[in-house]
Structure 1
Amino acid sequence: MAIKLFVDQGHNPGNINAGASANGLVESEVTYWAGIYLAVFLRVDPRFEVMVSRPYPDTVLGNDTPGSLRERVEMANEWPADYFISIHANANENPQINGSEVYVYERDSIAYDLAQKVLRSMVEVAGTKDNLVRVNPSLYVLRRTQMPAILVELAYLTNIEDADKLKCCLYGFSYGIYLGILDYFGFL
């Protein structure tokens, strides 16, 4: 039986739960395409079944930020997914802050183990700084999903070097996540 992965492309186009923007990049666009690339990799492999939260670039989930988060979680829970992977791009007031990180609900968990593999592979392929796996139980999509969930922050839109990597090599970020998933399941 196939492993069911829910790929959540964080944020929406437009004004509802729109996310960050900097250096000519819009978070909802970056996450949309990163999720689509990841889904393509996974769908070629018969060991996986994949659902994305935003199947089209103009898909908007919810009528406000809480509703957008709730709709993503409900989709994954109702499917039901075996694993939840939410994709984001980070931002910081300090343009020197850079790198990739992955958030989980708690340290000693299946999600933490998956996050370590995903982060290691993504950093290796994309060439970003490893900012470690971090615990953040306040993130809605991590605490309300009924399956192991990770939230991937690809890189910082506000850092020019990271932004350049997201512009030219977004495919590599997704491929790194894919390799991390394969590694986690022992498929490499």
Structure 2
Amino acid sequence: MAIKIYIDQGHSRGGINGGAEGFGLVEQDIVFQVGLYLANLLNNTPGYEARLSRPEIETILGYNNTTSLAARVADANNWGADYFMSIHTNASVDPSYNGTEVYIFNELSQSYPLAQSILNQIVAEVGTRDNGVRVNPRLYVLRRTNMPSLLIELAYITNPSDAEKLRNNQFEFAQAIYDGIRIELG
């Protein structure tokens, strides 16, 4: 039986919450494309099945931030995903902040080794700074899913160097996440 991975491309068009912006980039556009690349890689690998929260760039989930998050979690739970991955870009008022971090609900869960593997691969393959795996049980998508879940902050859209990577290396981010999955899950 295939390992089912639900890929949540954070945020969405339609005025609800497009996410962070910086250097002419918008989070929801970047994470849409990274998620699409990742789903294609997984769906073309025997033993894996991926589903996207936003199969089309114009897909709108919910009518506000709360209902959008609930729709993503409900879709993953109803599908019976084995793993949930929410992809985001980070932002800060301080443009010197940079790097990649991965959030999990609990350090003692199955999420931790997968999060560490994905983080290691993004840092190695894309060249971002390692900001670590962090526990944050307050994040809705981590606490309301029925499966091991992680939230990946690819890089800081507000940092000039990270923004260039987000603009030019979207496939490389997806490949690194894919490689991290394959290293940890086989």
Q: If the TM-score is normalised by the length of the shorter chain, which range does it land in?
A: over 0.9
Mapped to 1, the partners of 2:137 and 2:18 lie a distance apart of 22
* Structure 1: segments with no counterpart, 5+ residues: none
- The answer to whether structure 1 residue 40 and structure 2 residue 40 are counterparts is yes
Alignment partner of 1:3 is 2:15: no
The CA deviation at 1:48 is 0.3
Q: Indicate the residue corresponding to 2:123 in structure 1.
A: 123
Match of residue 82 from structure 1: 82
Q: Is 1:158 aligned to residue 158 of structure 2?
A: yes
**TM-score scaled to structure 1, two decimals?**
0.98
What's the offset of the Cα at 1:75?
0.2
Using the TM superposition, give the Cα deviation of residue 140 of structure 1 relative to its aligned residue in structure 2, in angstroms: 0.1
The percent identity for this pair of structures is 50
Counterpart residue number, 1:149: 149
Q: Provide Cα deviations, 1:16-70, integer angstroms capped at 9, x if missing partner.
A: 0221111111000001000000001101101101110000011111000000000
Q: For residue 50 of structure 2, what is the amino acid of its counterpart? A: V
Q: Kindly indicate whether residue 57 of structure 2 is the aligned counterpart of residue 57 of structure 1.
A: yes
Count of aligned positions: 186
Once the 2 structures are TM-superposed, how far is the Cα of residue 122 of structure 1 from its aligned partner? 1.2
Classify the secondary structure of the residue corresponding to 1:85.
Answer: strand
> For residue 172 of structure 1, what is the aligned residue in structure 2?
172
* Alignment gaps of 5+ in structure 2: none
Is the contact between residue 17 and residue 65 of structure 1 (CA under 8 Å) also seen in structure 2? yes
Aligned mates of 2:95, 2:52 — CA distance in 1: 31
Matched residues in 2 for 1:113 and 1:68: separation?
Answer: 28
Q: Which amino acid aligns with 1:50?
A: A
Partner residue in 2 for 1:69? 69
Following the alignment from structure 1 to structure 2, what is the Cα–Cα distance between the partners of residues 87 and 13?
15
Q: State the alpha-carbon separation in 2 of the partners of residues 14 and 21 from structure 1.
A: 15
CA contact (8 A) 1:38 1:174 kept: yes
Name the structure 2 match of 1:182.
Answer: 182
Q: Is the 8 A contact 1:17 1:68 kept in 2?
A: no
What is the identity, as a one-letter code, of the residue corresponding to 1:96?
S
- Give secondary structure in 2 for the equivalent of 1:94: coil
Q: State how far apart, in whole Å, the 2-side matches of 1:37 and 1:118 are.
A: 15
Q: Please state how far the C-alpha of 1:14 moved relative to its aligned partner.
A: 3.2
Equivalent position amino acid for 2:28 in 1: S
Task: State how far apart, in whole Å, the 1-side matches of 2:15 and 2:91 are.
Answer: 17
Which aligned segments of 4 or more residues in structure 1 are displaced greater than 4 angstroms? none
C-alpha distance in 2, partners of 1:183/1:94?
Answer: 34
Secondary structure class of the residue paired with 2:169: helix
